[in-house]
């Protein structure tokens, strides 16, 4: 199976290295791309060709890796470019192009799945391609595959949880240390937990995208970003957090899908003994099932655990296509 890893940041480097180390038998890394160009070798790339900066290689080709998809040079697209709102590009076009040509897709890019899930699933169905996206929500928490493989015999009634580690870290520091929002944000940025431009996180859009994916892929709804009521945490004061603490509660940014299919992202009061009341960069999600009741999953929502989700999805492609054994 010939693989293209598109996006050469934190995730892309680690996934590419895992393939080159032979952790995914049956997968040959033939191309790695970034925004300005790509490396391509039909017989497979070598580890020494993949430094920190692809453009430093003498074999670096300037331009879009889309040509590799259009020319059928790969069998698997691992799409790991950064999330881009409101368009979802270039990932959306890359995924659409791959699926339309029967090329399997594994992605951790939230925007295309949140913005065009029904369309992409239909394209995949029509060509027989696989579209897997466990890494888009919850890092290493198997929320999507849990539904696909373990909960098919039950009905999901509601989903509620903390889906963004950056905001959870900020609110945790405000709760435990009495920091102001600005100080907690600055600390998160210094530690690399928050981006230089933290807007997507602190204004709730990252959580909203993840919530959309869960609503559509796990609950079978057909919701758009405009259907989500979004309120971020930038106006949460230290005094508000202190008052919540005195009452035995705390404030968390909660994404929820209620029983009527309404989606919201907003700061909420959460009891300290609530199963989803986790701190630091942890994520926690409670899925309410019609028969089994509440099921809560907790784990790291980003970083290395996301690599695990991506590799698991690639393993599924390998197994389904008969290139390796499970």
| Cα dihedral across residues 207, 221, 102, 308: positive or negative | positive
Are the beta carbons of 147 and 217 closer than 8 angstroms? yes
Average pLDDT, stretch 106-120?
97
The pLDDT-based confidence of 302 (bands split at 50, 70, 90) is: confident
- Mean pLDDT rounded to a whole number for the chain: 96
What are the pLDDT digits (tens) for 263-300? 999 999 999 999 999 999 999 999 999 999 999 999 99
- Say what the pTM is: 0.95
pLDDT, greater one: 325 or 160: 160
Predicted confidence at residue 301, as pLDDT, reads 87
Burial 94-114 (b: 16+ CB within 10 A, else e): bbbbbbbbebbbbbbbbbbbb
pLDDT tens by residue, 70-86: 999 999 999 999 999 99
Chain centre distance of CA 11: 11
User: Using 50, 70 and 90 to split pLDDT, how confident is the model at 58?
Assistant: confident
The tens digit of pLDDT for each residue in 191-242 reads 999 999 999 999 999 999 999 999 999 999 999 999 999 999 999 999 999 9
34-39-42-46 Cα dihedral, nearest 10 degrees: -110
Q: Which residues are catalytic?
A: 210
What would the two tokens of residue 184 be? 């907690």
Token pair recorded at residue 146: 């849990």
| Average pLDDT over every residue of 106-132 | 98
Q: Which residues of 197-225 are buried (b: 16+ CB within 10 A; e: fewer)?
A: ebebbbbbbbbbbbbbbbbbbbbebebeb
Tens of pLDDT, residue by residue over 245-260, are: 999 999 999 999 999 9
Q: For residue 192, what pLDDT is reported?
A: 93
pLDDT at 323: 79
**Which region, left, alpha or beta, applies to residue 204 given φ > 0 means left and ψ of -120 to 50 means alpha?**
left
User: Would the pLDDT of 138 be above 70?
Assistant: yes
| Residue 49: band (very low, low, confident or very high) from pLDDT cuts 50, 70, 90 | confident
- The answer for residues whose C-beta is within 8 angstroms of residue 193's C-beta and 6 or more apart is 165, 166, 169, 281
pLDDT band (50, 70, 90) for residue 326: very low
User: Is the pLDDT at 55 greater than 90, yes or no?
Assistant: no
Domains in the chain (CATH in brackets) are: 2-140+305-321 (3.40.50.720), 153-300 (3.30.360.10)
Give residue 324's pLDDT: 62
Mean pLDDT of 46-63: 90
- Cα–Cα distances in Å, from 289 out to 149, 211, 259, 260, 263? 15, 17, 11, 14, 17
User: Which is more confident, 302 or 309?
Assistant: 309
């Amino acid at each position: 199976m010939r693989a293209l890893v598109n996006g050469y940041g934190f995730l892309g480097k680690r996934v590419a290295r895992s393939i080159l180390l032979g952790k995914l038998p049956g997968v040959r890394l033939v191309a790695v791309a970034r925004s300005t160009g790509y490396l391509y070798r039909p017989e497979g790339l070598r580890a020494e060709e993949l430094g920190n900066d692809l453009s430093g290689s003498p074999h670096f080709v300037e331009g879009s890796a889309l040509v590799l998809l259009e020319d059928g040079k790969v069998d698997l697209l691992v799409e790991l470019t950064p999330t881009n709102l409101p368009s979802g590009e270039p990932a959306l076009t890359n995924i659409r192009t791959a699926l339309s040509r029967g090329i399997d897709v594994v992605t951790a890019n939230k925007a295309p799945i949140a913005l065009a899930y029904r369309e992409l699933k239909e394209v995949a169905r029509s060509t027989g391609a696989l579209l897997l996206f466990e890494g888009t929500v919850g890092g290493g928490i198997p929320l999507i595959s849990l539904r696909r493989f373990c909960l098919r015999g039950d009905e999901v009634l509601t989903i509620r949880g903390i889906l963004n580690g950056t905001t959870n870290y900020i609110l945790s520091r405000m709760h435990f240390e009495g920091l102001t929002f600005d100080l907690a944000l600055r600390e998160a940025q210094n530690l690399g937990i928050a981006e230089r431009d933290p807007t997507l996180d602190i204004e709730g859009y990252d959580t909203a995208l993840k919530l959309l994916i869960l609503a559509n892929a796990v609950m079978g709804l057909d919701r758009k970003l405009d259907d989500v009521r979004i309120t971020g945490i930038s106006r949460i004061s230290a005094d508000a957090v202190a008052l919540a603490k005195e009452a035995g509660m705390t404030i968390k940014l909660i994404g929820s899908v209620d029983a009527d299919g309404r989606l919201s992202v907003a700061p909420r009061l959460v009891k300290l003994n609530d199963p989803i009341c986790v701190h630091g960069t942890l994520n926690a999600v409670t899925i309410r099932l019609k028969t089994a009741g509440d099921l809560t999953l907790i784990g790291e929502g980003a970083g290395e655990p996301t690599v695990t989700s991506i590799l698991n999805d690639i393993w599924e492609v390998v197994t389904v296509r008969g290139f390796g054994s499970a």
